[in-house]
Amino acid sequence: MIPAQRRAKILELVDEQGAVSVQDLARALQTSPSTVHRDLDYLSENRYLERTRGGAHRAGNLLGTTFEPDYEIGRHTREREKAAIGRAAADLVPHGASVFFDSSTTVLEAARSVVSSRREITAITNDLAIATLLAPCESIRTIVPGGTLRPRSFTLFGEPGTDLLAGMHVDVAFLGIHSLADGVLSDTGLEIMKGKRAVLAASERCVLLADSSKFAARRSFLTLASLAEVDTLVTDGGISADDERRVREAGVSLHVAKVDD
């Protein structure tokens, strides 16, 4: 495993168990205790978790509402769930559709599956990694509205992209989000919210792609919308019965993706 993959796995184990020991992590990751110590030092210094004697536990209130994980760590977190959500999302795209791909590691997996499906679509994205993935595909016409590159990410924000989105009407929008706590879509970045709101307004069908951990996440800095304002949610089988009921009561079509073993 590369460091980002190990650190993402550590965070998943901490999230599942609440607290972990260095020895348990070394066995789970099939690596040395010294490597685990270095990873825990990195994660602790960057406020992902809190070190304890011989291990670590959840960060709790160390994480502010504007906290965002490093892109590479986020990309490797819940990889199987994100891949499954991406495959299920691609099945919702009809041939000839216009599709917006939001800047999100889960939406990236949807773009990957759309490319594999060879559907002929017009794609619009504010994410340079997604645009690079789509570019070689001859069946996809890719539009990048432009803007300013957000630090430490592939996200474009601001003008001229937001103005262009305001004048569009797309068949399907795949939207990513930082948190779904309390049935509210919330995110961390002030600069990206205007673009997300423009996407919501511009889409005939807004499809939210979010793994089940988003329901347990702390509500983020800025509210984007209520759950009832999206049309469809694609998530994984880790969603609780209470959250599933909340989604259906909001009138949202729910698709639960099957995660490969």
In the predicted model, is pLDDT for residue 205 greater than 90? yes
Q: What is the average per-residue pLDDT within 81-103?
A: 97
**Phi and psi for 241 in degrees, rounded to 5?**
-60, -40
Report the pLDDT averaged over residues 235-259: 96
Residue 122: what pLDDT?
98
Show the domains of the chain with their CATH numbers.
Answer: 3-63 (1.10.10.10), 76-257 (3.40.50.1360)
d(CA 103, CA 105): 7
HEC sequence for 8-46: HHHHHHHHHHCEEEHHHHHHHHCCCHHHHHHHHHHHHHC
pLDDT band at 60 (very low <50, low <70, confident <90, very high): low
Write out pLDDT tens, residues 134-193: 999 999 999 999 999 998 899 999 999 999 998 999 999 999 999 999 899 999 888 889
Mean pLDDT of 207-232: 93
**Is residue 62 pLDDT above 60, yes or no?**
no
Q: Which of 228, 124, 136, 118 is nearest to 182 (CA)?
A: 228
**Cα separation, 226 vs 185, whole angstroms:** 6
Select from 40, 49, 48 the least CA-distant residue to 67. 48
Contacts 24+ apart (CB under 8 A), 73-78: 73/4, 73/7, 73/8, 73/11, 73/48, 74/8, 74/105, 75/4, 75/8, 75/105, 75/108, 76/4, 76/5, 76/7, 76/8, 76/9, 77/8, 77/11, 77/12, 77/105, 78/12, 78/211, 78/213, 78/236
Query: pLDDT value at position 156?
Result: 96
Q: Are 142 and 123 in contact (CB under 8 A)?
A: yes
In the block, residue with structure tokens 């017009």: 122
pTM: 0.89
- The mean pLDDT of 224-239, rounded to a whole number, is 96
Please report which confidence band the pLDDT of residue 260 belongs to, taking 50, 70 and 90 as the band edges.
Answer: confident
Measured on CA atoms in the order 123, 129, 132, 138, is the torsion positive or negative?
negative
Q: What is the pLDDT of residue 141?
A: 98
Q: Answer whether residue 261 shows pLDDT above 80.
A: no
% pLDDT > 70, the chain = 98
Q: Look at residue 176 and give its three-state secondary structure.
A: coil
Is the pLDDT assigned to residue 130 strictly greater than 90?
A: yes
